[in-house]
Amino acid sequence: MKILVTGGAGFIGTNFILLMLHDYPDVQITNVDKLTYAGNLENLLPIESQPEFSSRYQFVKGDIADSTLIDNLLSEGCDAIVNFAAESHVDRSLEEAGIFIRTNVWGTQVLLEGARKYSLNRFIQISTDEVYGSLGPEEKFTEDFPLKPNSPYSASKASADLLCRAYFQTFHLPVIITRCSNNYGPYQFPEKVIPLFITNALENIPLPLYGDGLNIRDWIYVEDHCRAIDQVLRKGKVGEIYNIGGGGEKTNLAITQTILEKLNKPKTLITFVKDRPGHDRRYAIAAEKIAHEMGWKPMYSFEEGIDKTITWYLNNRSWWEKIKRGEYKSYYQRMYGNRS
């Protein structure tokens, strides 16, 4: 199987590529990534050191909104696109919404046109539970839940999902959409809450917690998400949507306290900051559909996953230190102030 993976130098894309090359000797992957702030080729260094992987992998620096590039790549032969490429941080979308529209909407349309032109077998759109908006205390997102995005980021992802639906309905393009809950694990850019708080705690820097810290998210370890995508790619029904959840609902405050306890750091490092606009109160995923149709379920509990994640950041300090000392430092200071 020849797969075009977009955004494969980012967090989830990296983990997906490493999983696929490891588990399937017949898989060949072309990874196209623009290498914006969150794209990091160091993530994929393990491929270069293993000839059995590197012979089945190529990297192309490029933009998914570049129709000429995408046409050239697909003309070389491809069975499926797995579209991870996206501007994905809510805070950044509040500052620069335009780049989210360009990549997440226009870029997706370029990929859809390419998949249509070359009659690909599968187009997997990696979306998010944030397209559904916020939940009450008891509900869970099902696949037919109405779309009510509350940030420019989630609105751009909802728009892309609707484009995918339209290409399936109008052109019978074999599109499948996945919507996952909050991911965490190795290689996550340290602006997201879990790697930010782990790395801040290791440096004894305050942990900036929005509002009262009681916003709830359903957390999933990234390897579990990637295995679910693999199942959808191979067994999913075209035209369908599959929710992917970890069954690990936690408040942001509970996450913060867990990280501090595991690192033996004081709770005085918690610093409550002004809540961001449009901050959804609760997300929770109903993942019965993918479980029933494909037998998928998470392998890792939150407790197991957070231990693996903390261990990875402890063992890869040079990876995240370079990020936080470079471009990310100025962004961190702009968002939260210089609290070091």
Q: Which residue has the tokens 């009510």?
A: 148
Q: Is 336 assigned a catalytic role?
A: no
Res 328: pLDDT: 46
Q: Residue 56, Cβ neighbours under 10 Å: how many?
A: 17
Q: What are phi and psi of 279, to 5 degrees?
A: -75, 110
Res 286: pLDDT: 94
Give the residue with greater pLDDT, 135 vs 59. Answer: 59
Give the residue with greater pLDDT, 53 vs 117. Answer: 117
The pair of structure tokens assigned to 160 is 């892309």
Does an H or E element contain 201, and which?
Answer: helix 193-202
The mean-pLDDT minimum among 87-101, 111-125, 182-196, 231-245 falls in: 87-101
Q: Is 48 assigned a catalytic role?
A: no
Res 93: pLDDT: 81
Q: Model confidence over 236-248: pLDDT tens digits?
A: 999 999 999 998 8
Query: Any idea of the CA torsion for 238, 219, 108, 2, to the nearest 10 degrees?
Result: -60
Q: Which of 87, 130, 223, 249 is catalytic?
A: 130
Question: What would you measure as the largest C-alpha separation in the chain, in angstroms?
Answer: 57
Domains, the chain, in order of start with CATH, read 2-184+221-244 (3.40.50.720)
Secondary structure (DSSP) of 296-309: ---SS-HHHHHHHH
Res 91: pLDDT: 74
Report, in this order, helix, strand and coil percent for the chain, each rounded to 5.
50, 20, 35
Confidence class for position 331, pLDDT limits 50, 70, 90: very low
Examine the pLDDT at 337 and tell me if it is beyond 60.
no
Closest CA to 99 of 161, 153, 35: 153
Examine the pLDDT at 19 and tell me if it is beyond 60.
yes
The mean-pLDDT minimum among 43-52, 91-100, 133-142, 199-208 falls in: 91-100
Q: Model confidence over 107-136: pLDDT tens digits?
A: 999 999 999 999 999 999 999 999 999 888
Q: Is 129 assigned a catalytic role?
A: yes
Res 135: pLDDT: 86
Q: Model confidence over 306-326: pLDDT tens digits?
A: 999 999 999 999 999 988 887
Closest CA to 15 of 43, 42, 34, 40: 43
Q: Which of 57, 153, 167, 187 is catalytic?
A: 153
Residues 6+ apart with CB under 8 A from 254: none
Kindly tell me the number of DSSP H helices and DSSP E strands found in the chain: 15, 12
Closest CA to 32 of 96, 138, 114: 114
Strand partners, 126: 178
Q: What is the mean pLDDT of the chain?
A: 92
The pair of structure tokens assigned to 161 is 């999902």
Contact 220, 128 (CB under 8 A): no
Q: Which of 129, 224, 249, 280 is catalytic?
A: 129
Contact 20, 56 (CB under 8 A): no
Residues 6+ apart with CB under 8 A from 219: 181, 182, 183, 184, 246, 248, 249, 250, 255, 302, 305
Examine the pLDDT at 89 and tell me if it is beyond 80.
no
Q: What is the pTM of this model?
A: 0.92
Q: Which residue has the tokens 């471009």?
A: 327
The pair of structure tokens assigned to 336 is 């939260």
Alpha carbon distance 202, 260 (integer Å): 9
